[in-house]
Every structure is written in structure tokens, then in C-alpha cells.
Structure 1
Amino acid sequence: MQMILFGLVLTLFAYFVATLLYRRVPRPWMNPILTTALAIMAVLVVSRVSYADYVRGAQVYTWLLQPATVAFAVPLYRYRQLLRRYGLAMLAGVAAGSVSAVVSSVYFARWLHLAPAVVTSLVPRSVTTPIAMDISRVIGGVPVMTAVFVIVTGVLGSVMGPFVLRVLRLRSRVARGALFGVAAHGVGTARALELGPREGTVSSLTMILTGLLTVVLAPFLVRML
């Protein structure tokens, strides 16, 4: 019981503190997801608590990912007018981004001669965590490993995104939002919201569409590649 409470409280407290720090120092490398993970790792090492004991409590947050996935239907309905207006452009961008993310992940991992389980775990790296873990489970990956790759992808996307926007000279708020949503899922969406409400909305929608499309495409592409 103590270990269950330990995992619950540690995760919640670490994220709360990380969020406060990010508000004071709003830099991409201070993203709460990254700093929370690093803080929890440090606490586990210092306290010599095993990961298995920690997960017994933190598993509750993993269970909450399932209803979170269903809740993605809410923004799709709320912003249906935006989808009607830019639907074709969004779908084209999402399709290109989803396919390139899967293909590049597979070939890059094979080029590094990584184990097959690592290759399949990398495939859904550009998809938001709850969907990515389910995809990983279906195609033979390791869901926990996939979650790590998702976090790394999101943080790198939020850090490199502004640079890419400057290089490409993107002025369209729809295009700017889509770039973060397709490439960096939830972490990128948080960064897009800092650019403006339209960018954040588009990023949220494209993030969801990317997840839904990858669910369909990933098993097929993995078998084909």
C-alpha cells in the first residue's frame, strides 16, 4: 500500500513542481513531461526504490490513458467547422506525416541494427502516448519503450519546431499548428498553443487525426517494410 501511494504522490508532485518551473522558465527543454521524468528517475535512484515498485502506484495514470483516448472525440466535434474548412489540407498533411514517420523510423532503426522489438516500438513515436502504446502492443513492440520514444520525439519536436518555422518561413497559422501536431503530438501542441489559439487548435486536431490514421497504417506498413 505504501508503494502504491509512493508512486501516485511522487508522480503528481513531480509534475506539479515541473509545471510551476516551466511557467517561470518557459523554455522547450524545461517541458514538464521531460523534467518530471528526470525528477522521478533521480528520486528512484537516490531512494533505491525499484521501477517495479514505483509502477505499482503510477499504473493508475496509465489506466487513465484509456478514457483520455476516447475524449479525443470532443475537440473533433467542437472544431468541426475548422475541419470542414481545412479538412482536405489537414488530411493531406497528416497522411504525408504519418507515412514518413513510420517509414523513417523503421529504416533508421534498421540502419542502426536495432533489435526487431525496438524497431516496432519506434514506429508510433510521433503519435500521442495512449494511442502509441496501443499501436505498439498490436504490432509487437514494447509499449513502455514506445512511451519513452514518444516523449523524446515530442520534446525534440517542440525544441526544433520554431527553428523549422523560421527556415520554411511558414506564415499560415494552420500550417504552423499542423507542423507541431503531426510531428510532436501533445508536447508539440502545448508549444503550438504558445504561438496562438488557432495554431494550438489545429495542432490538437492534426495530432488526433495522426493518431487515428497511424492506427490503420502502422500494421500494414510494418508488414510491407
Structure 2
Amino acid sequence: MNLFITIVSLLGTITIFYISKMIYKKNKKEWLSPILITPLVIICILLLTGIPYKSYNTGATVLTNLLGPATVAFAIPIYKNVNLLKKHAFEIFISIAVGSAVAIVSSFIMAIMVGLNDELVHSLVPRSVTTPIAMDISNMIGGSPTLTAVFVMTTGILGSLLAPILIKICRFHRPSSKGLLLGMGAHGTGTSKAFEFGELEGTFASLAMIVAALISIVLSTTIFPVFEHLVINILLP
């Protein structure tokens, strides 16, 4: 029975995703994004059938383990456009470094303001980093990798839904602006969305996601502990 559920959960997740992807291609509505529809459908099915999440995850975990290789695969468009990226290297690094710092600080302050406990605070801090790396950061700073994955997914979905609206309002026309916004603000999900705009947008988003992950590792394990101590023990005694 467990083997049956494992196979069904794996094949079912893939099937639901591709069906939602086909629907999205025919109707380019943001709320029909496969990233949003797929988990909602799966949640409904689990609730209606009474299948425990742990049983479902025995098959779906195969897809989770592919997140790492999928992230590495984003390096291909970066390699193809390496000369363009070198040309704007300084601007890219500064913007991503600032974005990473703001993401960490804003997440921490927001968590403190709503009164979350230490585990939730540390789980929320790396929410703006791609899932595999965010889970590692969460584990290093005392958070829950599972909760972090949920926060990352929520950030990615909301970011990919809101970013196109923000791009229109702010009238961003350059591929670099669109790509860096999506890659920094919505990591993997945003990068997939950026490729819908074009290859250059996707390339910049890929770079933003990867560099943001590296910078966030450094900030979360060096600057963040000092900032946390300062806020909790000095500013909020």
C-alpha cells in the first residue's frame, strides 16, 4: 500500500503540474500559474482523501531532491551570456547584496514585530533564497528547514505574481531590471517567470538567485547573529 501511494504521489504531482501548465499556456493569467495551482490542487486532494502528508511525501520527495540539480542548471544561460554579465558585474553585485541584506533584515524585523518565537524567526530569515540553500541556512542558524521551505515557497509564489504588476507600474524596460527583480525577489519561481519575458531576463534572474544565495549564506552566519544580538539585547531589552 505504501509503495502504491509513493508511486501515485510522484506521478500524480507531475501530472497535475503539466495539466496546470497546459492551462496556463492557453490562459496567461497570473492566478493560473502552475506554481500556485499545483500545490493548491494537491492540498485539496490530500484533505479529501485523508492521505497523510508524510505518506504523500515519500514519493514527492524525489522531486524535492531534484531542486539542487535544477538550481545548478540555471548556470547554463549564465555561461551563454557571460560577457554581458561581466559588463554589468559591479551594478549586479551591489544591487543583489543590498537586496539580500534588506530581505534578511526585513524578515527578522517582521518576525519580531508579530511576536514569533526563535525557531520561527530563524526559519523566516532565509525566505528570499532558493529552497535547498535556504533550508541549509535555516539549519545553521537554528531554524526549522521544513518551515523555511514553506516560507520560501510562499515568497516565491507571491513574488512571481506581484513582480509583473510591479514591472508594469514602475515601467521597467531593461532585461537586467526585470531579471534581477524576479531573481532576487522570488528566487527559483521568479527565475522561471523571468524566462517567460525572455532569455536575457531569465539569465539575469538566474544570476541574481545564485549570487543572492551565496551572499545570504555569508550574511546569515556572520552579520545576522550580531544584528540579532543588537536588536534583542540592546534595542529591545
Both structures adopt the same fold (TM-score exceeding 0.5): yes
Match for 1:151 among 150, 153, 176?
Answer: 153
User: 1:31-71, CA deviations, whole angstroms, 9 ceiling, x for partnerless residues?
Assistant: 21221111111111111000111111111122222333444
Matches for 1:23-172 after TM superposition, within 5 Å: 23-172=25-174
Using the size of structure 2 for normalisation, the TM-score is 0.87
Letter in 1 for 2:144: V
Contact 1:29–1:155 (CA under 8 A) maintained in structure 2 = no
Separation of aligned partners in 2, 1:189 and 1:69? 10
Measure, in 1, the Cα distance between the counterparts of 2:199 and 2:69: 25
* Residues 199 and 144 of structure 1: CA distance in aligned 2, closer, same or farther (over 3 Å): same
- Residue 184 of structure 1 corresponds to 186
Pairwise CA distance, 1:85: 0.9
Question: 2: CA distance between counterparts of 1:129 and 1:62?
Answer: 9
Question: Which residue type is aligned with residue 109 of structure 2?
Answer: Y
| Structure 2: distance between partners of 1:34 and 1:144 | 19
Of 71-80 and 173-182, deviating more is 71-80
Compared with structure 1, are the counterparts of its residues 197 and 66 closer, same or farther at alpha carbon in structure 2 (3 Å cutoff)? closer
Query: Partner of 1:26: helix, strand, or coil?
Result: coil
- Kept in 2, the 8 Å contact 1:11–1:40? The answer is yes
Q: 1:217 aligns with which of 216, 219, 233?
A: 219
Count residues in correspondence. Answer: 225
Contact 1:102 / 1:221 at 8 angstroms: preserved in 2? no
After superposition, the CA RMSD in angstroms is: 1.7
Q: Give the secondary structure class of the aligned counterpart of 1:141.
A: coil
Task: Name the structure 1 match of 2:231.
Answer: none
2:110 aligned counterpart, secondary structure: helix
The farther-off stretch of 136-145 and 89-98 is 136-145
Shift of 1:72: 4.4
Separation in 2 of the partners of 1:204 and 1:115?
Answer: 33
Amino acid at match of 1:142: S
Sequence identity percentage: 41
Rounded Cα–Cα distance in structure 2 between residues aligned with 1:37 and 1:136: 23
CA distance in 2, matches of 1:80, 1:4: 41
Q: Distance in 2 between matches of 1:156 and 1:68?
A: 21
* 1:199–1:68 CA distance, 2 compared to 1 (3 A): closer
Q: 2:77 and 2:140 mapped to 1: Cα distance?
A: 26
Alpha-carbon distance between aligned partners in 2 of 1:85 and 1:193, rounded to the nearest angstrom: 21
Report the Cα distance in structure 2 between the residues aligned to 1:75 and 1:132, rounded to whole angstroms.
23
Q: Structure 2: state its 5+ residue gaps.
A: 229-237
Q: Match of 2:218, as an amino acid? A: V
Q: Which amino acid aligns with 2:112?
A: R
Distance 1:100 1:63 in 2: 29
Check 1:10–1:109 CA distance in 2 against 1; reply closer, same or farther (3 A cut): same
Alignment partners' CA distance in 2, 1:75 and 1:138: 30
